Structure 1
Amino acid sequence: MYQSIRVESRGRVGLVQLNRPQQLNALSSAMLGELARAVRAFDEDEAIGAIVIAGNERAFAAGADILEFQQTSLPELLKGERASAYEVLRRARKPLVAAVSGYAYGGGCELAMLCDVIVASETARFAQPEINLGLIPGGGGTQRLTRQVGKYLALEVILAGRVLTAWEALRHGLVNRVVPVELYLEEALELAQAMAERAPLAARLAKEAVGQALEVGLEEGLAFERAQFLLAFGSEDKAEGTRAFVEKRKPVWKGR
């Protein structure tokens, strides 16, 4: 079904692994199309509560497929799958966890930042080197990196080619945690499983509310949060969650 990714379920977690090891998981249009289809399928699967996107120990994704870029015209780029694939991930309702080891350069860094949380191995490296090709980041790098690490560090990364180590990324809020390389995927799966076990409707509403915090002013964000809270308050899951708490048992979520 897929040529450049591997897909499997681990309990209530959907795992998508980029699988072009000889190209350091360079993001071709075909790979991004497959990634979007896999994420969409997991996002629509009621048996799945969270999604992990990973590469391998050497590379999460070392950027775009430069050979493909060289051979792509502007009209082809405009109608290609790259932007639409990123949009699928941006609009995913379920939590996305990036498991990053090794290179996360260019589009790979942007792909990681599209996820809701990032678990990094000690060997993870984050960079936006597009300027070396006469380009700028085109998958959200100028916007998401700046929001996470601030204007000055973002400009150093984008204009001067600075590479952030895993520990620097942690210090500047770009990743959630750094773990030994042999544990990074297991740690990401465990974190995703913890999210997947929570009430699915509340998880979706909370993810949307947190997303608003970066897009709007405080008053508008508080109003949005209140509306999401009221939706959760009227749900069957809220009734089940409070009942299970009083009865000292594990809740059985229905996602409604």
Structure 2
Amino acid sequence: MTQPKTISLAIDGPIATITLERPERRNSVNAQLTRELSAAVQACEANPQVAVTILTGSGSSFCAGMDLAAFADGETEAILHGKGRFAGFVGVRRTKPVIAAVNGPAMAGGFELVLACDMAVAADTAIFGLPEAKRGLIAGAGGVFRLANRLPIALVNEIILIGAPIDAARACALGLINRVVPAADVMATARDMAGKVAASAPMSVALGLDLARSAASGDESALWSLNDDYLNRTTGSKDAQEGARAFLEKRPPAWRGE
């Protein structure tokens, strides 16, 4: 039986829109979504008509991160370590910008998807957070070091160690997103930004984007190496399995430190 698509891709002139299509699971990432998102991003990169892409979610959530049921079912390798890393997206080397249109909560890996984008528009009701430590995991899709490249370390530690979400207004004040608008205006605002990007010279956009990323990221290859080591240690731990089970069973986890 054919599985329903977890991604939709629409192209309107120079603007592509990729929508996460698992609203019943708050657009959480499983292996199928990872494969389909990777293919959609590559299709946009290869299409000479496309100048800029908008990434958004269907329903009331942007993305809840990794699907912990899929994690418990053994899809970890495909979700985290395939082409493009988490969701087939956060580690992709792109030449064209992606704008996140954050229509609702962007938690855990969902926040990391936003941090991997080049600009972001968020609904005033959106929230952002990295609660992985509460699940026995680490924000290993680039979230920790991308936050550390943008924020003072005390704020980074608050976000990754306590795991409490921040609202869109604070995320914007911290420089993590570009615009906060009413929920009904998210896509229109993202399309307006995308249209302005598309009006610029393609080579200038690609080279400027690459230079800005290089300046902001430092030695990203070394950071990914350390990130992967810590990610593998947590995803393979007994605490990670306990964290996923506790979340699915709606109970407090019993940590063992191993």
The 5 A counterparts of 1:38-57 are 38-56=40-58
Separation in 2 of the partners of 1:113 and 1:92? 14
Separation in 2 of the partners of 1:19 and 1:5? 5
After superposition, the Cα gap between the structure-2 partners of 1:59 and 1:79, relative to the gap in structure 1 and judged at 3 Å, is closer
What's the counterpart of residue 210 of structure 1? 212
**What one-letter code is carried by the residue in structure 1 that aligns with 2:14?**
R
Unmatched segments (≥5 aa) in structure 2:
220-258
What's the counterpart of residue 241 of structure 1? none
Determine if contact 2:30/2:79 at 8 Å carries over to the other structure: no
What's the counterpart of residue 150 of structure 2? 148
**CA RMSD for the aligned pairs?**
2.2
Separation in 2 of the partners of 1:82 and 1:160? 28
Which has the higher Rg, Structure 1 or Structure 2? 1
Separation in 2 of the partners of 1:133 and 1:99? 27
Residue by residue, what CA displacement relative to the aligned partner does 1:11-60 show, whole Å, maximum 9, x if unpaired? 21010000101000001121121111111101111111100000135111
Separation in 1 of the partners of 2:67 and 2:162? 21
What's the counterpart of residue 106 of structure 2? 104
Percent of residue pairs bearing the same amino acid type: 33
In the TM superposition, what is the alpha-carbon distance from 1:96 to its structure 2 partner?
0.6
Match of residue 26, structure 1, among 28, 33, 36: 28
What's the counterpart of residue 61 of structure 2? 59
In the TM superposition, what is the alpha-carbon distance from 1:119 to its structure 2 partner?
0.6
In the TM superposition, what is the alpha-carbon distance from 1:154 to its structure 2 partner?
1.4
Separation in 1 of the partners of 2:61 and 2:31? 18
Greater shift after overlay, 132-141 or 67-76? 67-76
Three-state SS of the structure 1 residue aligned to 2:150 is helix
Separation in 2 of the partners of 1:78 and 1:40? 18
Three-state SS of the structure 1 residue aligned to 2:53 is strand
Determine if contact 1:119/1:176 at 8 Å carries over to the other structure: yes
Greater shift after overlay, 73-82 or 89-98? 73-82
Separation in 2 of the partners of 1:52 and 1:24? 18
What's the counterpart of residue 114 of structure 1? 116
Unmatched segments (≥5 aa) in structure 1:
218-256
How many residues were matched structurally?
217
In the TM superposition, what is the alpha-carbon distance from 1:128 to its structure 2 partner?
0.4
What's the counterpart of residue 196 of structure 2? 194
What's the counterpart of residue 222 of structure 1? none
Determine if contact 2:90/2:113 at 8 Å carries over to the other structure: no
Relative to the length of structure 1, the TM-score reads 0.79
Divergent runs of 4+, >2 A: 73-82, 84-90
Relative to the length of structure 2, the TM-score reads 0.78
